[in-house]
Amino acid sequence: MSVRSTLDRILDTDRTDRTDRAEHVERPADPRPARDRTREADGMAVASFLLGLVGLLAMNLLLGPASMVLAALALRRGTSRPGRARLGFALGIADLVVLACLVGADHTWSWGVG
C-alpha cells in the first residue's frame, strides 16, 4: 500500500466522522426569549400600520409594499397585535390602489396635491 492511499483513507474516515457528529448536534431554534420575539413582531405591526397610513398621502409606490411585507412578517412571527398588522396590510393594498387610480387619471407616475 502506498502512503498516498493510506492518507486518502485516513482523510476520508475523518470526514465521515465529522459529518456523523455534526448530524447529531441539536441547535436551538432561536436563542432569544419569546417575549423579545413578540415585541419585535409588535413593532413590525405598528410600523406596517404607520407606513400604510403615510403611504396613502405620499410615496405610495414604496410605502405600500413595505407596509405589506412588514405586516406579513409580523403575522408570521406571532404578533400580539394581529388586527394592527392586518390593517397595515390592508392599507398597503389601498396605497397601491390609490396609486393605480392616480396613474389612470393623469397617465403619469407622479402626482401632487393642489
**pLDDT tens per residue, range 15-31:** 555 555 555 556 556 56
C-alpha span between 106 and 101 (Å, rounded): 9
C-alpha span between 48 and 70 (Å, rounded): 5
> How crowded is residue 106: how many other Cβ atoms within 10 Å of its Cβ?
9
Q: Helix and strand tally (H, E) in the chain? A: 4, 0
Give 13's DSSP letter: H
Answer whether 0.75 is exceeded by the pTM. Answer: no
- Across the chain, mean pLDDT equals 80
pLDDT tens string 29-69? 656 666 777 888 899 999 999 999 999 988 888 999 999 99
Q: What confidence category does residue 93 fall into, taking pLDDT thresholds of 50, 70 and 90?
A: very high
